Each structure stands twice: as C-alpha cells, then as structure tokens.
Amino acid sequence: MNLTLKIWRQKDGTSKGKMVSYKVSEISEHMSFLEMMDVLNEQLVNSGEEPVAFDHDCREGICGMCSMQINGEPHGPDRGVTTCQLHMRMFKDGDTITIEPFRAKAFPVIKDLVVDRTSFDRIQQAGGFISVNTSGNTQDANSLPIAKQAADEAMDAATCIGCGACVAACKNASAMLFVGAKVSQYALLPQGQVEATQRVLNMVEQMDNEGFGNCTNTGACEIECPKGISLENIARMNREYLKASL
C-alpha cells in the first residue's frame, strides 16, 4: 500500500518543531509499524536526508521504549499493543497517518519523536522499591505464603512497561496509572507493607513535582495501555494515599 505520513520533526530539545509530510510506497500489510518507519528512514538516508529519530528497542512489546502518538492515539488504533507490535494491516492504501511524539510537560522532546521519560525513573527512585539488601540470607521464599489472588493481582499491576502511553493518552497528561500500578504491586504484597505509608506519599509527591496533570477519571489510560493495566490501580493508590495521610 501507499501512504502519506505526517511526522513531527524537531532538531533538538530547544528548537521549534513542525509537521512534515512524507510518502512511502509498497508497504506490506504484514509489516510492523516500525518496519514501515524503517522503510521511510532507509529512503531518507539514501536521498541524503536525516532519518526520523524514534525510540525503539526490543520490538516485541515489552521494553516500553517505543512511543508514538499515531493518528491521535498512543501506539495507534489497535488495542493491547505497543507501536512495535502495531501492524500495517490496521491501515489501508492511501491513508494519511499522523505521527507525533508522546506529549507532556514532564516528557520533553529530545529529537523528532524521541522524548525524555526519566521523570518516570525519578518517581520510582522516590519509593518504588522494597528496602532489602542482597545478602543471600533473606528468608526462604516459601516461608511467606501469598494468596494466589493477591499474587496474581500484584503481577497484573507489575506488567506495566513504563512506556508512558497513559500520560500521552490522558487529556491532562496525568501519570496516575503508571504510579498507581507501581504502588499497587507493593500494596498487594506483604513484603511491601512496611514501607507502604512513606512509599505512596513520596511517589505521589514526586509525580506532582514532575509536572504531570491530575487524574479526572476519563479512563483513556486504561483503554490505551498496551498491557491493560486497570483503573482499579488508581483507586487503590487513592486509598493507600488517604490511609497514609490520615
């Protein structure tokens, strides 16, 4: 198929960017979206232009590096996938596709479609861990039984890949689904209880300091999340926060 791509080009963090149109042809429906971008970039390199910079790495939907706003939705129109797993069969011949970086004040653009998501790292550093040293003498793993349901729910929360689609989708650029998932993982497990109070207070404070917006429960994050992280995690974080504050 033949496509028109409208892509955000921005030289670096301080420059102004703009949308630029490109044409690509002979795109197979079996290609992934990023393979289509590879075709465009090969074309640009061969014609002496600078290829479009975009983040990507594992290309199997788990590293969370790829981050494109495609036709107004993070990771494009398909559900339950990252950009790298989005396939061209979701589009048709002659389509015009708009490709932008994930937008949020807390995700400044570095170049073209590449954004800086280290704000997520800093939120984790504020408390997204259990303080246990590596000794080799921690208690036997099975000495602490954990109900299957709690373990499974913790796992569901822990599948977050930190891609930032929740922020990109949210009209308020809120990071609550991401933070809620991390808070929930530890809140659901007995190991996380000791530091629960400080963890949620510190992580929320850091989140606010990074300049993310507030949650207005539109639910866009849950729909666009490639890993299907549930809104229940935000509710759980709210509870944990209230418990910790009172």
Round to whole Å and give the CA distance between 86 and 169. Answer: 17
Which of 94/136 has CB closer to other proteins? 136
Residue 8, CA distances (Å) to 83, 112, 169, 207, 238 in order: 16, 6, 17, 27, 36
Which listed residue (1, 78, 95, 197) binds other proteins by CB under 8 A?
Answer: 78
Q: Is residue 11 a contact point for other proteins (CB under 8 A)?
A: yes
Nearer to other proteins, 1 or 63 (CB): 63
- Of 4, 105, 194, 198, the one binding other proteins (CB under 8 A) is 105
Least CB distance to other proteins at residue 71 (A): 6
Q: Does residue number 20 form part of the binding site for other proteins (CB under 8 A)?
A: no
Of the two residues 41 and 94, which places its CB atom closer to other proteins in the complex?
41
Where does 189-231 have alpha helices with state H? Answer: 196-209, 220-224
Q: How many residues bind other proteins (CB under 8 A)?
A: 129
CA 70 to chain CA mean position, Å: 14
Choose, by CB under 8 A, the member of 3, 40, 68, 169 that binds other proteins.
169
CA 178 to chain centre: 8
Report the site for other proteins in 123-142 (rule: CB under 8 A): 124-126, 128-136, 138-142
Polymer length of the chain? 246
DSSP-assigned beta bridge partners for residue 168: none
| Interface pattern 211-230 for other proteins (x via CB under 8 A) | xxxxxxxxxx--xx------
What are the residues facing 97 on neighbouring strands?
A: 5
User: If binding is defined by CB under 8 A, does position 234 make contact with other proteins?
Assistant: yes
| Torsion region of 55: left, alpha or beta (phi above 0 gives left; psi -120 to 50 gives alpha) | beta
**Helix axes 196-209 and 232-245, enclosed angle (nearest 10):** 110
Q: Which residues inside 31-70 make contact with other proteins, applying CB under 8 A?
A: 31-32, 34-35, 38-39, 42, 44-46, 48-51, 53, 55-65, 69
Q: Which of 2, 20, 77, 194 binds other proteins (CB under 8 A)?
A: 77
